[in-house]
Structure 1
């Protein structure tokens, strides 16, 4: 057999060196697809060292090739271990475990975290990787609802990050501290730590993958506590960061979903549909990424609000197929389709499974609306009260507006138009401030109905007409049809002039029930029953309960 030509070997080595140099330069300028191509080409000619394997892994991740990311990172881990660099091997094992955990493969993820812990035990001196391995524990504590342990563990990780001057660890651990504080309903403290973490993100101090992860986690945390101004600001920053890297794929999907959410809240529904559409289709040929369920849910919400019910139905189902809970949107769709019993059953099921206040606060407004339509007044009262109690515990104006709007709907159903008007006005002030046109229009509808109940026909017309214009501009067909019907056919009060709740009280009085018994049945206070009964006496010009009973039977109110 002929011996290899040394000149050819040297030529091959030189070419490989050139390719690797181009790959490293492409990586440095964040041209991830180019870097990935160069490293892939180089590895076909010669084994890569551990650092270049890490670059190959990161560039694969950033262009959406998750399986390649895991494979290259696995090889980098082995290369570091064989070279005796246990710390770098631990770091690779951490990232492998984290990615597998994100994919829901908890067994393999635990295996890599366990391997990293075993390697850590053999370290003779302290290393920053100890802090990285605390991060999965923080997430476990948060998932288990133990915010106290999560906070303490995250604080320990922050201390390690600061001691070793590791920006990635410091920012990630600090933002997890913020999330733990939010779970304890220490909202302002938590948001302050999220802001501090984002200072490192927006000034380019973090690695690309950690940058994207912290961006997405912080935006979601802000949305959970209704800090929509922060969520909007960080979404804009994420958009700019993605735009600076035209070859980036990994975080562009999340960016588009966040942008769509901001657009929906701001009333730019056509733009939001376009953004979610880009996510719900294949983003880039050859990537291994699947569309996130949240994108389908966002698109379904806009279809529902527009009255495009078949399209909404399909997107809610797709959201569910991709692992995203389609409630409360699907139940609200059922409600407008006239399938109230289905909406009630689904919402009861979801609420029974959710105990965490922040998560319940996203379900309760829909439950108030559904319960009122179903005639479940006691349930509507309980849900509105729970919302209000939670809104009182945190400084979140948007949540307070949501609670006030629910309170307005319940008060209106109770026949308490003055209270309803006050609640709706408080909600409207916030919606106008945060520029949320759809919710502002819904608040105006409640105000219009309250004005009508108070015989303020001019006030009722102005509020309903303004709401009508907003719904028309947004393309909110179901809401528009309802308000147009209200404007064209003003509701005529029945001859007796009683509200639905007052009529209910009269019927129960006629059945011989005491005010206390009525309060227990309607799940309201005795004082509320007293007030309703006083209104009944005034409206019907009756002197007593006996007279009210006689009136009820004489006018067939039973």
Structure 2
């Protein structure tokens, strides 16, 4: 028995969670309170929640038998922690009530009060009572700091940071996140707290569209998980977030692989809450690649798993030509999202869809709101998205020069964060604006840059949105003239439309005939249509 326990403890110390779990489980009837806590933690980390809950409950009772109220409250804390995060409310409320009774007996010390405040604050946050959550979590953080409990202090600050963000105090929320994550990287903190802290911080970055912090903390979580291959609760979610950042950086093949790994990881040994997010991420990549049937299946499954499939599904409907369905879907999603944090991921899709439906006023209103939200959140990515949305609206309103200025700023923002797909989508709009201003050569430069990125990524739906590439040696201006020739316009009318002299148009038409090897406008038009030049 001693040798078995010694091996289990050694496995626990080197974070070999599966071996530790198996070792403690084999000695379960002989375990003392401390080893029962180790069994509970190991069980949680390998995904055996039922065994974990039972071990925490046994450890709690053993501590009470030994008159160790501090240890008993520690066990009720971790039980409540898991149950609240899993939204298992009857059991969660029961263990919180047990903690309240122990704290009320004034025998658990000040830290017991801090643990209780954390649990009630976390519960209030889940229930939407943000004011109560902030008060309890702030009190918990203060108690933990006063008693030098770095683990509880970090957990409380992280939760409080998210609450502050949802209350609109973005700066204070981010400051709390940064402060807490310093402790996660430097203080001796339990693996459950470390994993949960990373996930909480990364989720906050997702809400804030904070790419730099989110990527840094996702990389940190990935390194931490790689050292512990037995982990179940955190690795799948880590892979979802890695897929999101890989998609943004243009590594779509790797992103799809990570999303697939996340889906598999999040189903074993039971389906976890982030399973729907993994499916949604796969749907996004299939949509961008033009694999619409696969995208639709992923969005449907994500919805069944509890993840709202918007805005991806609405954008899929738009690409399928089902504009009315896209409008209805994005309208519903935006109307149901009440706070800026949950509305902001929907706004870019809303603007694109409304402009496609000729609802320019609706698009303008949301683009303005997006600008305000981007400024309040301080997100460079969201700022670039907002500037592109405003530019797109101005383009629709024929304010082409104003649109071009906004779109160029948006392109610079996307380049700064190395988001090649977003740069290419913006180049498509810049090219459209430059063409409208008569700068055919400049427009072609933009279109070709976008085409090169779309081809590299395999973004077939976006390739279809580009103007036909000049061929047969025609310049961008000659293609522009040929299109007007094909519409039956005279050289004088073409010159008037393009702001050029009739003599210049005569020269362009002559060059077109020579390059295409034809001698009439009708033959040039027919060849252009056969060759898909217009």
> TM-score range, shorter-chain basis?
0.7 to 0.9
Q: Which residue of 2 aligns with 1:10?
A: none
Q: Cα distance, 1:183 vs. partner?
A: 2.5
1: CA distance, partners of 2:192 / 2:181: 14
Q: Which residue of 2 aligns with 1:500?
A: none
Match of 1:173 among 144, 148, 156: 156
2: CA distance, partners of 1:93 / 1:440: 51
Q: Which residue of 2 aligns with 1:110?
A: 93
Check conservation: 2:84, 2:123, Cα contact below 8 A: no
Q: Which residue of 2 aligns with 1:422?
A: 405
Check conservation: 2:170, 2:376, Cα contact below 8 A: no
CA deviations on 1:438-494 (whole Å, 9 max, x unpaired) are 111111111100001100111111111101101111111100121153767759689
**SS of 2:109 mapped into structure 1:** coil
**SS of 2:468 mapped into structure 1:** helix
Match of 2:306 among 323, 327, 330: 323
Match of 1:353 among 336, 346, 351: 336
Counterparts in 2 of 1:191 and 1:77: CA distance versus 1, 3 Å: same
TM-score by length of 2: 0.85
2: CA distance, partners of 1:242 / 1:412: 47
| Residue 278 (1) aligns with residue 261 (2) | yes
Match of 1:261 among 238, 244, 258: 244
**SS of 2:376 mapped into structure 1:** coil
Q: Cα distance, 1:146 vs. partner?
A: 5.2
Check conservation: 1:464, 1:487, Cα contact below 8 A: no
Q: Which residue of 1 aligns with 2:233?
A: 250
1: CA distance, partners of 2:62 / 2:305: 36
Check conservation: 1:301, 1:312, Cα contact below 8 A: yes
2: CA distance, partners of 1:42 / 1:119: 29
Check conservation: 2:70, 2:108, Cα contact below 8 A: no
Q: Which residue of 2 aligns with 1:96?
A: 79
Q: Which residue of 1 aligns with 2:422?
A: 439
**SS of 1:392 mapped into structure 2:** helix
Q: Which residue of 2 aligns with 1:199?
A: 182
Q: Cα distance, 1:125 vs. partner?
A: 5.9
Q: Cα distance, 1:333 vs. partner?
A: 0.6
TM-score by length of 1: 0.82
| Residue 17 (1) aligns with residue 9 (2) | no
1: CA distance, partners of 2:130 / 2:106: 30
Q: Which residue of 2 aligns with 1:384?
A: 367
Check conservation: 1:67, 1:288, Cα contact below 8 A: no
Cα RMSD after superposing both structures: 2.2
| Residue 340 (1) aligns with residue 327 (2) | no
Residue-pair matches, total: 479
| Residue 371 (1) aligns with residue 371 (2) | no
Q: Which runs of 5+ in 1 are unaligned?
A: 1-15, 498-537, 539-558
2: CA distance, partners of 1:77 / 1:197: 28
CA deviations on 1:165-188 (whole Å, 9 max, x unpaired) are 211101111122322332343333
2: CA distance, partners of 1:25 / 1:204: 21
Q: Which residue of 1 aligns with 2:14?
A: 29
Counterparts in 2 of 1:159 and 1:342: CA distance versus 1, 3 Å: same
